Amino acid sequence: MIDGLVDGTIDCLTSDHCPDDVENKLKEFELANYGISSIDTAFATARTATKDKLNLAELISKFTNHPRCCAGQKTILIEEGNQANITVFDPNKKWIVSAGDIRSASKNSPFIGQELIGKPVCVINKGQIVKI
């Protein structure tokens, strides 16, 4: 997968945010709903895996511009007069994922206890600043 990101075979990365409640996950494996909580760790996971292989600007594009392009949507520019809808992050911040870091209703993540690189600081959305 990393090779595909680096050579352009994989155009974009996204997080399919569909949280499941605990009851749908704590079943026998074959009966449990599939998937993990990844919206809180998607970028940091990709940053950690590709840090020495894919430059930061390209990784950011894989999460931002490239998905919009693949979906036939125009790129949103950060410029005066446009309403900000961005995530501010420290691309080199190392952190260990805990269940408390996951803001989703679902806490199902294989990354709990893992060290990742790249930590969100705040989100600016519709004029509201939310610190993380």
Catalytic sites, residue numbers: 16
CB burial of residue 59 (10 Å; 0-12, 13-18, 19+): buried
Contacts of 115 (CB under 8 A, 6+ apart): 48, 94, 95, 96
Q: What is the DSSP letter of 94?
A: E
d(CA 38, CA 82): 28
Tokens linked to 56: 């930061």
Q: How many helices and strands, by DSSP H and E, does the chain display?
A: 5, 3
How many CA atoms lie within 13 Å of 33's alpha carbon, on the beta-carbon side?
A: 13
